[in-house]
Amino acid sequence: MISFLPTLLIVASLVMAFCIAVMLLREFARTHEKAFFTLGIAAVVWPVLSWLMNFAVKEMLHHRPTGHPMNLGVVFLIAESIATMPYLETFVETGLMLIAVYQLCLMSSLRIQNGDAL
Protein backbone atom coordinates (compact mmCIF):
# COMPACT_ATOMS: atom_id res chain seq x y z
CA MET A 1 0.00 0.00 0.00
CA ILE A 2 2.77 2.44 0.89
CA SER A 3 4.94 1.53 -2.13
CA PHE A 4 2.84 3.52 -4.61
CA LEU A 5 2.90 6.68 -2.45
CA PRO A 6 6.25 8.06 -3.77
CA THR A 7 5.10 7.53 -7.36
CA LEU A 8 1.78 9.21 -6.61
CA LEU A 9 3.55 12.19 -5.01
CA ILE A 10 5.91 12.53 -7.99
CA VAL A 11 3.04 12.43 -10.48
CA ALA A 12 1.01 14.93 -8.43
CA SER A 13 4.03 17.24 -8.22
CA LEU A 14 4.57 17.08 -11.97
CA VAL A 15 0.89 17.85 -12.61
CA MET A 16 1.05 20.85 -10.26
CA ALA A 17 4.30 22.04 -11.91
CA PHE A 18 2.60 21.78 -15.30
CA CYS A 19 -0.38 23.85 -14.04
CA ILE A 20 1.98 26.49 -12.63
CA ALA A 21 3.87 26.59 -15.94
CA VAL A 22 0.66 27.06 -17.93
CA MET A 23 -0.55 29.86 -15.64
CA LEU A 24 2.82 31.65 -15.78
CA LEU A 25 3.08 31.28 -19.56
CA ARG A 26 -0.42 32.68 -20.02
CA GLU A 27 0.39 35.64 -17.78
CA PHE A 28 3.73 36.17 -19.57
CA ALA A 29 1.94 36.10 -22.94
CA ARG A 30 -0.60 38.63 -21.68
CA THR A 31 1.80 41.10 -20.03
CA HIS A 32 5.21 40.33 -21.59
CA GLU A 33 6.81 40.86 -18.18
CA LYS A 34 10.08 38.94 -17.88
CA ALA A 35 9.45 38.44 -14.16
CA PHE A 36 6.88 35.75 -14.98
CA PHE A 37 9.45 33.97 -17.13
CA THR A 38 12.01 34.10 -14.29
CA LEU A 39 9.39 32.89 -11.84
CA GLY A 40 8.61 30.00 -14.18
CA ILE A 41 12.26 28.98 -14.21
CA ALA A 42 12.43 29.18 -10.41
CA ALA A 43 9.12 27.47 -9.71
CA VAL A 44 8.99 24.84 -12.48
CA VAL A 45 12.17 24.31 -14.47
CA TRP A 46 14.70 24.32 -11.64
CA PRO A 47 12.83 21.87 -9.34
CA VAL A 48 12.35 19.44 -12.25
CA LEU A 49 16.03 19.73 -13.24
CA SER A 50 17.21 19.22 -9.67
CA TRP A 51 14.98 16.14 -9.32
CA LEU A 52 16.46 14.75 -12.56
CA MET A 53 20.00 15.43 -11.32
CA ASN A 54 19.31 13.65 -8.03
CA PHE A 55 17.73 10.74 -9.87
CA ALA A 56 20.72 10.47 -12.24
CA VAL A 57 23.24 10.44 -9.38
CA LYS A 58 21.29 7.78 -7.51
CA GLU A 59 20.97 5.65 -10.65
CA MET A 60 24.70 5.97 -11.37
CA LEU A 61 25.51 4.77 -7.87
CA HIS A 62 22.91 2.01 -7.91
CA HIS A 63 23.87 0.56 -11.31
CA ARG A 64 27.62 0.79 -10.87
CA PRO A 65 29.29 -2.39 -12.15
CA THR A 66 30.07 -4.68 -9.24
CA GLY A 67 33.51 -6.16 -8.93
CA HIS A 68 35.19 -3.12 -10.44
CA PRO A 69 37.18 -1.06 -7.96
CA MET A 70 36.06 2.53 -7.74
CA ASN A 71 38.59 5.32 -7.32
CA LEU A 72 38.46 6.58 -3.73
CA GLY A 73 38.62 10.20 -4.89
CA VAL A 74 35.52 9.65 -7.05
CA VAL A 75 33.69 8.14 -4.05
CA PHE A 76 34.47 11.18 -1.90
CA LEU A 77 33.53 13.56 -4.72
CA ILE A 78 30.17 11.84 -5.22
CA ALA A 79 29.51 11.71 -1.45
CA GLU A 80 30.34 15.41 -1.09
CA SER A 81 28.14 16.27 -4.07
CA ILE A 82 25.22 14.34 -2.62
CA ALA A 83 25.69 16.02 0.77
CA THR A 84 25.81 19.57 -0.61
CA MET A 85 23.28 19.21 -3.44
CA PRO A 86 20.16 20.02 -1.35
CA TYR A 87 21.79 23.23 -0.11
CA LEU A 88 22.83 24.24 -3.62
CA GLU A 89 19.35 23.46 -4.97
CA THR A 90 17.74 25.59 -2.26
CA PHE A 91 20.22 28.41 -2.87
CA VAL A 92 19.59 28.51 -6.63
CA GLU A 93 15.82 28.19 -6.26
CA THR A 94 15.65 30.94 -3.62
CA GLY A 95 17.88 33.21 -5.70
CA LEU A 96 15.68 32.76 -8.77
CA MET A 97 12.56 33.46 -6.70
CA LEU A 98 14.20 36.59 -5.26
CA ILE A 99 14.99 37.89 -8.74
CA ALA A 100 11.43 37.20 -9.95
CA VAL A 101 9.80 38.84 -6.94
CA TYR A 102 12.13 41.84 -7.27
CA GLN A 103 11.14 42.20 -10.92
CA LEU A 104 7.44 42.00 -10.04
CA CYS A 105 7.85 44.59 -7.27
CA LEU A 106 9.75 46.87 -9.64
CA MET A 107 6.99 46.48 -12.23
CA SER A 108 4.37 47.29 -9.59
CA SER A 109 6.18 50.40 -8.36
CA LEU A 110 6.59 51.65 -11.94
CA ARG A 111 2.86 51.25 -12.50
CA ILE A 112 2.11 53.20 -9.34
CA GLN A 113 4.45 56.01 -10.42
CA ASN A 114 2.76 56.16 -13.83
CA GLY A 115 -0.71 56.22 -12.26
CA ASP A 116 -1.70 52.85 -13.70
CA ALA A 117 -2.43 51.30 -10.28
CA LEU A 118 -5.88 50.04 -9.38
Q: Residue 72: what pLDDT?
A: 59
pTM: 0.60
- Spans in the chain with pLDDT lower than 70: 1-2, 61-83, 116-118
Hey, CA dihedral for 73, 80, 52, 99, is it positive or negative? negative
* Among the listed residues 79, 28, 20, the one whose alpha carbon sits nearest the alpha carbon of residue 47: 20
Q: Residue 77: what pLDDT?
A: 67
Helix-then-strand count for the chain, H and E:
4, 0
**42/118 Cα distance (integer angstroms):** 28
Instruction: State the first-to-last Cα distance of the chain, in angstroms, to the nearest integer.
Output: 51
Residue 111 CA to chain centroid, in angstroms? Answer: 30
**72/20 Cα distance (integer angstroms):** 43
